[in-house]
C-alpha cells in the first residue's frame, strides 16, 4: 500500500493518496463505513450543541417569563456566536499563522466547513513558516465543531423552506 503525494493540488486536502489497487479498494471500503459514522458523529455533536442552546433558552425564559422571545434570542445568539467562532474570527488566525489575506482565510473557512474542500488552501503546510504545536489540534477541533454547527444551520434553513 504505497501513497503518492505528487498530485497534491488535485486531491483536495490530502497530502496522501493511494497509488495501488489494494490501497484504493481499502479507501473505498473505509469510506463506506467512515462517511456514515462521521455523519452520525457530526449529528450527535450538533444535537448536543442544540440541546445546550435550548437549555439556555428555557432557563432564560423562566427567569424573564417570556419563553418565545427567549427561544428566539438564544437561537439568534447561537447563530451569531457560531458565525464569529467558525467563519468570521478564524480567518484572522489564518492571516497570522499562514500569511493569507482575510478573504483567503474566510474562503478556506467556508470551503472547509461546508466539506467542499478543494485543497487550494491547506493549513500548516508552508515550509517557510513555523507553526505552534497546538495549531493543527485546535484547527481539527474547529473543523469538527464548525461542521456540526454549519450542519445545524443548514438543517434550520431546510426546515424554514419546508
Going along the chain from its start, the domains and CATH numbers come out as 21-161 (1.10.287.70)
pLDDT tens-digit readout, 81-108:
999 999 999 999 999 999 999 999 999 9
6, three cell numbers: 505528487
Whole-number Å distance between alpha carbons of 147 and 46: 9
What confidence score (pLDDT) does residue 16 get? 67
Enter the pTM of the model: 0.72
Which residues make Cβ contacts (< 8 Å) with residue 73, sequence separation at least 6?
Answer: 57, 60
**Residue 11: what pLDDT?**
35
**How far apart, in whole angstroms, are the C-alpha atoms of residue 96 and residue 102?**
9
Alpha helices in the chain (DSSP H): 21-64, 67-82, 90-98, 102-113, 135-161
More confident residue, 139 or 8: 139
Report which of 148, 103, 133 is spatially closest to residue 121, judged by C-alpha positions: 103
Q: Between these two residues, 23 and 8, which has the higher pLDDT value?
A: 23
CB 36 within 8 A of CB 145: no
**Averaged pLDDT of the chain:** 84
Amino acid at each position: 500500500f504505497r501513497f503518492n503525494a505528487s498530485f497534491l493540488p488535485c486531491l483536495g486536502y490530502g497530502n496522501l493518496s493511494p497509488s495501488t489497487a489494494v490501497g484504493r479498494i481499502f479507501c473505498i471500503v473505509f469510506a463506506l463505513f467512515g462517511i456514515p459514522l462521521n455523519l452520525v458523529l457530526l449529528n450527535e455533536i450538533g444535537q448536543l450543541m442544540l440541546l445546550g442552546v435550548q437549555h439556555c433558552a428555557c432557563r432564560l425564559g423562566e427567569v424573564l417569563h417570556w419563553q418565545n422571545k427567549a427561544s428566539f434570542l438564544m437561537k439568534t445568539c447561537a447563530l451569531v456566536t457560531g458565525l464569529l467562532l467558525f467563519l468570521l474570527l478564524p480567518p484572522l488566525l489564518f492571516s497570522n499563522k499562514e500569511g493569507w489575506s482575510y478573504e483567503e482565510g474566510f474562503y478556506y473557512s467556508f470551503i472547509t466547513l461546508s466539506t467542499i474542500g478543494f485543497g487550494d488552501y491547506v493549513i500548516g503546510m508552508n515550509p517557510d513558516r513555523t507553526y505552534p504545536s497546538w495549531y493543527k489540534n485546535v484547527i481539527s477541533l474547529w473543523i469538527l465543531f464548525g461542521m456540526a454547527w454549519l450542519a445545524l444551520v443548514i438543517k434550520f434553513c431546510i426546515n424554514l423552506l419546508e
